[in-house]
Amino acid sequence: MPTLADLSDALAVGRTSRDLTEECLARIADTEGEGRRAFIKVHADQARAAADFHDQSRRNGAASSRFAGIPVSIKDLFDIAGDVTTAGSIVLRDTLPARRDAVAVARLKAAGFIPVGRTNMTEFAFSGLGINPHYGTPLNAYDRKAGRIPGGSSSGAAVSVTDGMAHAGLGTDTGGSCRIPAALCGLVGFKPTAKRVPLAGAVPLSSSLDSIGPIAASVACCAALDAVLAGEEEGDLPDFPLDGLRLAVPQTLVFDGIDSEVARAFAAAQSKLGAAGVRISDIALRELSELARINSKGGFAAVESYAFHRALIAAKRDLYDLRVLSRIMRGSEQDAADYIDLVSARNDFTRRVRAVTAPYDALLMPTVPIVAPRLRDLQSEEDYGRINLSLLRNPTLANFLDGCSISIPCHRHGDAPVGLMLIGQHGDDARLLAIAGAIESVVAPQP
């Protein structure tokens, strides 16, 4: 699939934004029903008008950026002026339309990106599976006949990119919601340090863990989008020498339940990186075994989502996805003292883990331990819960540490998608993206 740089180059030599936009809209309308499931709302007329504006601006030498006129998708968690933000639910469908764009959406528009529509997601972003009983579940482009899940919660964002309905997707990541669908769908997903991108105008899941990031075709695409979202000047990824790079692979928890395809792809990626001069060290990082106890009452996501939803639940309980509702209601089990203890435990855990990982440039691990399961294998509550926890387990570490993280495809071309995840320190976003770009050049699937 084309990168943002490819599309920018094409626009610079005469390709029109209207062409790109019409191609995306056609894919939404004609992808075996996936467009209908991937998008909750399509902004066809607005997208065409924006494309014509950017084409005229480019002809006049006044393009707002080199990416002006490229279609992107917006997760249904974000306000778009004039739209009702439903957050993948029917609970909010009768609320008033947004009066202004979310900050992240406004920044994308200011850079010339064209939103083609609002993408489907797990209701209120509370699952790593991407299943939605209200709007349908968009299916993974890999092995679509088998009906595999896309991962979540930014499910439609990933499918919109794999299927050519958009050239990048704006998502959120509270415990892996950009990186999980990226890993399962063969894309790159970036989770920035939480406060890097303003959350204003996005429906919250957990104010302590939420972050806003992109899903796209390459690390460079994600880096360009991240710069726009963070309000920084966009530039090319700097070269980063792999020779002497220090990566640590935790041995506690992150390989539990790993399937053979993920294990094989991860081992092959390690071998390639070692041959390129990367110094990879196995570390115990036994602190990871404490996370289950620390979050035994549902953690930040449960208590902070319950605070947001309790009035809605009192009025519209029957409209919630029961699987999501049960997870929100776990927040009612925590009192103020529990929450204070949780904050304290997080601070202590973060301090101790950072002390262990400080000598390394990043942590390295499989993004998730399994390839995308089939939708029909998740019908029971037991299977849903077990696989959801499996997908969330590794990615959520970066959110709990308030670090930055990225998932990069590392499978063999034609095999089931597998993600290689890097976790960097708090605020180390630019450096992690540069490292990821260098690693991508070594491990990315080759046709």
So which residues are the catalytic ones? 75, 153, 177
Q: Distance between CA 92 and CA 150 in Å, rounded?
A: 24
Q: Which residues have a Cβ under 8 Å from the Cβ of 101 and sit 6 or more positions away?
A: 78, 79, 80, 81, 109, 201
Q: Distance between CA 85 and CA 79 in Å, rounded?
A: 6
3-state secondary structure (DSSP) of residue 75: strand
Residues in the chain: 447
Q: Distance between CA 423 and CA 400 in Å, rounded?
A: 11
Q: Distance between CA 141 and CA 151 in Å, rounded?
A: 12
User: What is the CB neighbour count within 10 angstroms for residue 431?
Assistant: 16
Check the CA dihedral 436-431-161-321 and report its sign.
positive
The H-or-E segment that residue 349 falls in is: helix 336-357
| Phi and psi torsions of 351, nearest 5° | -60, -45
| Phi and psi torsions of 170, nearest 5° | -90, 125
Q: Distance between CA 122 and CA 156 in Å, rounded?
A: 9
Q: Distance between CA 249 and CA 245 in Å, rounded?
A: 13
Specify the DSSP class assigned to residue 247. E
The H-or-E segment that residue 248 falls in is: strand 246-250
Residue type, 62: A
Asked if 137 contacts 321 with a C-beta cutoff of 8 angstroms, the reply is: no
Asked if 414 contacts 371 with a C-beta cutoff of 8 angstroms, the reply is: no
**Pick from 385, 397, 439, 88: nearest CA to 277:** 439
